[in-house]
Structure 1
Amino acid sequence: MKSVAVLTTIIALAAGHGIVTTPPARTVGDAFKAACGEQPFNNQKGDPYGNQQQLEQNAASQKDFNATSCQFFMCKGYQLADNTANVQKFTAGQTIEMKVDIRAPHTGDCNVSVIDLGTNTVIGTPMIEFQNYASTSTGVAKNNTDFQITMPDVAGQCGEAGKCAVQWWWDSREADQTYMSCIDFTMA
């Protein structure tokens, strides 16, 4: 039994790529499991670093997967209901420290934006953008994993939890994989 647990851990670490660690980003829980199914839940519980495309591929064949309630293209399908204790309170102009853990680099583009969770659209423009992000040829630059963003004034749209999120979005065309993390917040 121990060898199965060790093997599962090794596979999860090998598959892992990147997530936001600060501020606290959404994680999986019972609401994700109910919305997305048992297999995606187990996959993300074991390896939250994985990519959106793998989630979609693995979930598509599962009988308990519901694409209407589980939208992997928005916050990887992670649900606010599992993360109410992590909702941040930001103010317009506030500087936010961001930390990202990248376990396996893939050259791509990255941005951090405020998204409208009702429409899955970016509000305004990205707060920060990177080209040549997590480069496989030059290595992961320090500013790819430790940087700051300045919050725009989105109080009118983001006054209550579940309306908006700060989304870290990393797309690697080199690997044909997309990674994302969402930080729920309110702004008064």
Structure 2
Amino acid sequence: MLSTLLQLASLAALAHGHGYISSPPMRMPGNATTSACGKSVVADIVKDKTSHVEGLPELAAKDAGYHASQCNLWLCRGVQFADNAANVQAYAPGQVVNVKIALTIPHVGSANVSVVDTKTNAIVGQPLLSWPSGYADEKQFYGQTLPANQTDFNVTIPTTLDGKCATAGECVIQWWWYGTGARQTYESCIDFTVAKV
């Protein structure tokens, strides 16, 4: 009985987490995000860095501080660049960047890492990395055989950006993951610039 209660307690502790970028620094909310998205969205993200996107619109709709024209919950979960200007990473075209993911609860699905234009929320070029299926397969995770390249991998900054992403806030590197069984989307963003060549 006691062991069953302990197992349930450990599962409950994990229920708040799924996955997020742990390195380089990901966007986190502050005053600008509160002004755009409301206190409820910010409180949820601060409480749980891995909160899935599908849970946020309902919170936002109930909050008088939510401004749909300023808060795109499907881009970095609405977290604003203004709160993260101190964490902008400076990269060079062709530079290899190591990315680490804290993956706490797996949901098998697809994932990618891409450069995203923050004005259009569109991928620039092709994804830097892509897992069309089999990403974060819980069967592998609980057997302790989740592939290391799903949580610790390198991406190469494109050499074809032609001046795009030279201004801070113009682009992000976004880790995006959709768990098909859970029907939940997780995303984290890294603010960066690329020096013009």
Fold match (TM-score > 0.5): yes
Aligned twin of 2:156: 150
Give distance in 2, aligned partners of 1:82 and 1:133.
30
Q: Offset of 1:115 from its aligned partner? A: 0.6
Aligned twin of 1:42: 43
Can you list the C-alpha shifts for 1:132-175, whole angstroms capped at 9, x where unaligned? 11101222321110011111022511111011110100011211
User: SS at 2:120's partner residue?
Assistant: coil
Aligned twin of 2:7: none
**In the comparison of the two structures, how many residue pairs are matched?**
179
Give distance in 1, aligned partners of 2:12 and 2:55.
14
Confirm or deny: 8 A CA contact 1:12 1:46 kept in the other structure.
Answer: no
Give distance in 2, aligned partners of 1:89 and 1:12.
36
Q: Offset of 1:64 from its aligned partner? A: 2.1
Aligned twin of 1:5: none
Aligned twin of 1:73: 74
Aligned twin of 1:167: 174
Confirm or deny: 8 A CA contact 2:99 2:155 kept in the other structure.
Answer: yes
Give distance in 2, aligned partners of 1:185 and 1:12.
33
Can you list the C-alpha shifts for 1:4-62, whole angstroms capped at 9, x where unaligned? xxxxxx97752211100111110111111111101111111111111000112222222
Aligned twin of 2:96: 95
Gaps of 5+ in 2: 1-10
Aligned twin of 1:85: 86
Aligned twin of 1:138: 140
Percent identity for Structure 1 against Structure 2? 41
Highest Rg: 1 or 2?
A: 2
Distance change (3 Å), C-alpha of 1:41 and 1:12: farther
Distance change (3 Å), C-alpha of 1:115 and 1:58: same
Letter in 2 for 1:92: P
TM-score by length of 2: 0.86
Distance change (3 Å), C-alpha of 1:81 and 1:12: farther
Gaps of 5+ in 1: 1-9
Confirm or deny: 8 A CA contact 1:114 1:122 kept in the other structure.
Answer: yes
Letter in 1 for 2:150: N
Give distance in 1, aligned partners of 2:48 and 2:154.
26
Give distance in 2, aligned partners of 1:35 and 1:135.
35
Letter in 2 for 1:165: V
Q: Offset of 1:63 from its aligned partner? A: 2.3
